Chain A
Amino acid sequence: GAVVSQHPSRVICKSGTSVKIECRSLDFQATTMFWYRQFPKQSLMLMATSNEGSKATYEQGVEKDKFLINHASLTLSTLTVTSAHPEDSSFYICSALQGADGYTFGSGTRLTVV
């Protein structure tokens, strides 16, 4: 089946630094990818929709300058958390729409900002 590879799975960074998370579709082309944030025991909160070759569409309340999204190819989207702070610590997940069977998700990235 379709696979979305997300890296890194875990990252710890110092406050004020930037962290890049990659999401790759391995065996299909994804013109659209989605980035979610998930807090403990909470649902997936959509942050932005990443469109290949164009600007991402951010959900209300998500800071565009803090969460930079780049979708430079049909198989790669990246999320960069800039000037990270402890409140940015969370579980970030990407997904891509793959055919009629819905969305394929990456394995997630646990970000801890210290």
Chain B
Amino acid sequence: EDQVTQSPEALRLQEGESSSLNCSYTVSGLRGLFWYRQDPGKGPEFLFTLYSAGEEKEKERLKATLTKKESFLHITAPKPEDSATYLCAVEVTGGSYIPTFGRGTSLIVHP
């Protein structure tokens, strides 16, 4: 059974304190791994798609990396506006285009 596990469940940072969120996955074959940001009471907002081990993508203070077993979302010098829940999802090969989501990491950045 395909599984996606995100850690930590919650993370509190001071403004400027860099850290990383983890998404580990167990799938039969990875087609793609997605990162989303979700603000309270809103739908998820697309951040990145990663397709192969070694791939990296960046957007402002965020950088996503991928290995054969996990993905990291690195947050450099976070600001309070980066506070949100970050969701990871995987799409497997040979299946329908339906991603499996992790439970997310709730990030709070204090000023």
**Chain A interface residues toward B at CB < 8 A:** 4, 6, 9, 32, 34, 41-44, 46, 49, 91, 93, 95, 97, 100-108, 110
Contacts and interface: CB of A to CB of B under 8 A. Distances in A.
Interface residues of B, number: 22
A110 B43 CA distance: 11
A44 B34 CA distance: 14
A29 to B, nearest CB: 15
Interface string B27-62: 000001010100001111110010000000000000
Interface string B80-110: 0000000101010000111101111010000
B98 A108 contact: no
Interface of B: 32, 34, 36, 41-46, 49, 87, 89, 91, 96-99, 101-104, 106
Contact of B101 (A43, A97, A101): A43
B34 A102 contact: yes
Contacts of A44: 44, 87, 101
B46 A104 contact: yes
A107 B98 contact: no
